[in-house]
Amino acid sequence: MHSPVHLFLLLSAVCPLVCSQEGLTVPPLYPFVIPVYGPSDENSSLPEIPAISGIGIPDRSSSLDMFRIFINDTTPSKKTPAFQRAIVDASKRPLYLVTVADEFIVTLGLNANLTAVASLGYNESDPVNVTTVPFGLNIGRKDVFNGSISLNGNYDANRINSTSWINLGLQKSFLERGTLNVTANVHSMNGKKVIETNATTILIDFNSPAITLPKGHNCTDLHISSLDSNSASSIHISDYLIANETRCQVSSNDGENSKVILGRPFFQATYLYAEKDGSVFLAQANDYKLPPKAEKFDKQGKLQPPTAPEGYVSPGKSSGTIMTVTMSNVFLAALLVILWDLK
C-alpha cells in the first residue's frame, strides 16, 4: 500500500473527517467545501512528521491535529464516529464533521463517505453522509495560499487560474490508488538554457512528496505542457514550491530509469477534479489567499479566474522585489558618496 499523503488541512470553522456508510446522503447539489492548508518547507514540532509532508486540522481549541489523506478504493473503517471537531461550509449551513477519536484519517474514494451532523450533540440530530467522489482538490501552501477539497459535484472557483479545463480522459487508477500516467512535455531552465523533454510518460502521484525530473533538467521555471489534445495546455509550477531539495529532485540516471514523477508540489500548482467514472480534469491554480467559493463543475464550461486580492504580491517574486529595492538603495548611496568626494 502506498504511504499516505500528509497535508495541513484547515476546515471552514475547523474539524476532521471520517469514512462511514451509515446515515442519510446529502443532496448531490449541496455544496461542501473544506479549506486546506498544505505543505511548506518548515519543520513541524513533530520530528517524525515534517510540515513538508504533514497534515494539520485545527480543532475548536485552535490546536493542530495531524491527519493523513488517502485516495483509494479500499473499504473504510467500520468504527462508529463520535468525536466532533469542527464545522465545514456546506451551502451556508454549518455541518459538524465527526470522527473516531483515535483515528486521524481522511479518505477520498468511491467507497468512502464523510459523516456529519447538523448540531453539536451527535445524538441530537441524524447523521448525514457526504460522498467523497466526485471531488475537486488543491492542497494549498501553508501560510501562503489556501487550498481546498470540494465535494458533491462542486469545484472551488477561487482556486482557478485558467479559462478552461485540461481533460486527461479516463484515469481510473487515480481513484484506486492516487496515481495516473499521462504523456506530456517537460520544460525547465538550466541557467539561460531551456531544457526540453517532449512526449514523455509522466507519473502523477498524489502519494509522492516530491517532483522527480530527468537528468539534465533543473528545478527552475518548470512547465508541464501538451497534457491533452490541446498543445497550448500547460501547468506552471512556481519556483518557490520546488526550491527546497526535498520538494524537487533531478535523477542521476539516463534512459528508462530517468522518470518524471509529479508529486505533491504539482497538486499545489494545479487544481484537479475527479469524476465518479475516473475522468480527471486539471486547471492551473492561483496562489491567492482567498476563501473557498463552491461552483457546479462543468467540463465544457468556461472558467473565470478570480481577481487577485488587493496588495497581492506573488510569493515567487517577493524576495526578488526586495532585492531590487535594496540594490537600488545601495547604488544610490554609492553615487551620493562619489558626488560628495568630488565637491
- Specify the pLDDT at position 67: 64
- Specify the pLDDT at position 239: 95
**pLDDT tens-digit profile of 27-46?**
545 677 777 777 766 543 33
Cβ-in-10-Å burial (0-12, 13-18, 19+) of 41 comes to middle
Amino acid type, 148: S
Average pLDDT value for the chain: 74
- Residue pair 52/5 in contact by the 8 Å Cβ criterion: no
Binned at pLDDT 50, 70 and 90, residue 321 comes out as very low
3-state secondary structure of 170: strand
Residues 6+ apart with CB under 8 A from 32: 26, 88, 89, 90, 91, 95, 130, 150, 151, 152, 154, 294
CATH number attached to the domain at 166-296 = 2.40.70.10
Distance CA 42, CA 153 (A): 34
**pLDDT tens-digit profile of 244-281?**
888 999 988 766 556 899 999 999 999 999 999 999 99
**303-312 long-range Cβ contacts below 8 angstroms, 24+ apart:** 303/157, 303/160, 303/162, 303/163, 303/164, 303/165, 304/157, 304/160, 304/163, 305/160, 305/161, 305/162, 305/163, 306/157, 306/158, 306/160, 312/288
Q: Is the pLDDT of residue 125 over 80?
A: no
Distance CA 113, CA 107 (A): 8
Binned at pLDDT 50, 70 and 90, residue 17 comes out as very low
Binned at pLDDT 50, 70 and 90, residue 20 comes out as very low
Q: What are the cell numbers at 118?
A: 447538523
Q: How far is CA 325 from the centre of its chain?
A: 32
The secondary structure of residue 71, as a DSSP letter, is E
* Cα-based distances in Å from 341 to 330, 331, 336, 337: 17, 16, 9, 6
Distance CA 60, CA 129 (A): 22
Average pLDDT score over residue span 233-246:
91
Percent with pLDDT over 90 in the chain: 38
- Specify the pLDDT at position 31: 73
The secondary structure of residue 255, as a DSSP letter, is G
Q: Is the pLDDT of residue 9 over 80?
A: no
Domain regions of the chain by residue span: 24-154, 166-296
- Residue pair 139/267 in contact by the 8 Å Cβ criterion: yes
Minimal CA–CA distance to 109: which of 203, 233, 17, 37?
17
Q: Is the pLDDT of residue 73 over 60?
A: yes
Distance CA 22, CA 15 (A): 19
Angle, CA of 300, 302 and 305, to the nearest 5°: 140
Minimal CA–CA distance to 71: which of 138, 161, 133?
133
Q: What is the pTM of this model?
A: 0.80
Cβ-in-10-Å burial (0-12, 13-18, 19+) of 302 comes to exposed
Cβ-in-10-Å burial (0-12, 13-18, 19+) of 262 comes to buried
* Cα-based distances in Å from 133 to 18, 98, 130: 14, 19, 9
